[in-house]
Amino acid sequence: MYCCRKFLFPCVAFFFIGTPLIAQATTPTLSFGPIHFAQDDLAPALQVFALLTLLSLAPSCLIMLSSFTRIVVVLSMLRNALGLQQTPPNSVLISLALFLTLFTMMPVAKRIYTEAYQPYQTHQINTEMALAKAKTPLKQFMLKQTREKDMQVILELAKEPPPATAQDIKFYQLIPAFLLSELQTAFQIGFMIFLPFLLVDLIVSGILMTMGMMMVPPMTIALPIKILLFVLIDGWDIVVQALIRSFH
């Protein structure tokens, strides 16, 4: 018992006396130096805030400012034309649409990288000038794909006079007109895709009616025929080529 007390006393004393000393010795200290802001540029804090905002809006920007809308709508209409509800699944269609979007937007991305990002990284231009240079190729792409009729509709709804030149069109006017044009073009391509499959459905339905097999659902016979026809003509290649060429 005496040995235990003799050993316990130094431990307790070290706990009550040594702990504050250890805490005092290991307490970290933070020091902030002066923050220097570059002339004619955004503050670093604002740059970080702008970057985080851009990342949060990236999905919306992908839909509004690129070819993604047209591609994903056409692929969805193709699946419906074949009569397949969940095949290919949405994840596959979106992945294919993303890579086709990357393929079609690569020339625009290269121009943005060369004309805006590289000069900004080498401190030849500031943030405001980099954003202005980055908007130019993107705006040219969107103007090329936007129908004049859709642009007029948006300008009439905004109750604003038409701009003198196409480059004077504001982004908030161009984006809805661009999306309307993309949907219009996607539906035109989708209609052309639906026609041959609609003919297959009509022919199969007529044959079944002639044979008196009215209790047999036409889709049961038409679905494998449509899939076989689509595979024999290399349908995926035709659809992808039509989509890519529609942007040129």
Residue 185: its pLDDT value, please?
A: 92
Residue 162: its pLDDT value, please?
A: 77
Question: Comparing C-alpha atoms, which of 197, 220, 228 is closest to residue 82?
Answer: 197
Q: Indicate the residue type of 194.
A: F
CA distance 108 to 92: 25
User: Is residue 71 very low, low, confident or very high in pLDDT (cuts 50, 70, 90)?
Assistant: very high
The predicted-structure confidence for 158-214, as pLDDT tens digits, reads as follows 887 777 777 778 888 888 899 999 999 999 999 999 998 888 888 888 887 887 777
Residue 211: its pLDDT value, please?
A: 79
CB atoms within 10 A of CB 187: 14
Residue 167: its pLDDT value, please?
A: 77
CA distance 70 to 142: 12
Residue 49: its pLDDT value, please?
A: 63
The predicted-structure confidence for 107-137, as pLDDT tens digits, reads as follows 888 888 888 888 878 878 777 787 888 888 8
The predicted-structure confidence for 80-104, as pLDDT tens digits, reads as follows 888 887 888 888 999 999 999 988 8
Domain boundaries, the chain: 62-159+166-191+235-245
The predicted-structure confidence for 3-44, as pLDDT tens digits, reads as follows 444 444 444 444 444 444 444 444 444 443 444 444 454 556
CA distance 25 to 47: 37
CA distance 50 to 53: 5
